[in-house]
Amino acid sequence: MLEPFLQDMGTSEFVNNKQGELEINRYYPFLFVKTTDMPDGIEYYIIEDIFGNRHLMEKAPYEQYGFILGEKAEIRIDKINCKGKVFFEPKHPRHSLGSTVEVAFIKHSSEFDKFQEEIPVLMVKDPDGNIASVKPTNDNQLKPDFKPEFLKCEVHKISKGRLILRQIG
């Protein structure tokens, strides 16, 4: 049977293993076998999938998750790039997609979008203490005197252990 392929990239929707396939965007239990330092200078977890195959997952972004070697955790197959590298995203221990969080407003700022156009953003501190940017929802939020203590946001995505937020309300 032929595997399904993504139309836009030509890469498989599955991670091929000798014993089976792991589907992109699905969670699977992975065993944390050990950690290792690689020649690139980065420390990785060696994780084992349900078919007994081992993979590398960068350790640093997930330090606050509290993983314990010898135990299992739910990990999503996030994507496979054009070189075949598999990207993993463990379930966040405190937040899930679509959940609402209160974030501390820091300041007004700007950043460049994918077209290199400067856009206004609000800098916030998420519940994990990470600094993030959110887009203003209305013109009043662009005014310099707009300085709320907190904003309500939705967890839009989680990438490398960091919350990607979208302002609501």
Q: What CATH number does residue 41 fall under?
A: 2.40.50
Does position 8 have pLDDT exceeding 50, yes or no? no
Place of tokens 């919350």: 163
Residue 150 lies in a domain: yes
Residue 143 lies in a domain: yes
Residue 81 lies in a domain: yes
Does position 53 have pLDDT exceeding 50, yes or no? yes
Same-domain check for residues 73 and 123: no
Torsion of Cα atoms, 68 then 55 then 75 then 82, to 10°: 150
Residue 95 lies in a domain: no
Does the pTM surpass 0.75? The reply is: yes
Per the structure, the complete domain to which residue 153 belongs is given by: 100-167
* pLDDT value, residue 16: 56
Same-domain check for residues 119 and 83: no
Residue 6 lies in a domain: no
Does position 6 have pLDDT exceeding 60, yes or no? no
Residue 7 lies in a domain: no
Residue 9 lies in a domain: no
Same-domain check for residues 63 and 117: no
Per the structure, the count of domains in the chain is: 2
Same-domain check for residues 28 and 79: yes
Same-domain check for residues 23 and 72: yes
Span 98-151, pLDDT tens digits:
999 999 999 999 999 999 999 999 999 999 999 999 999 999 999 999 999 999
Same-domain check for residues 21 and 83: yes
Percentage of the chain exceeding pLDDT 90 = 79
For residue 77, count other CB atoms closer than 10 A to its CB: 23
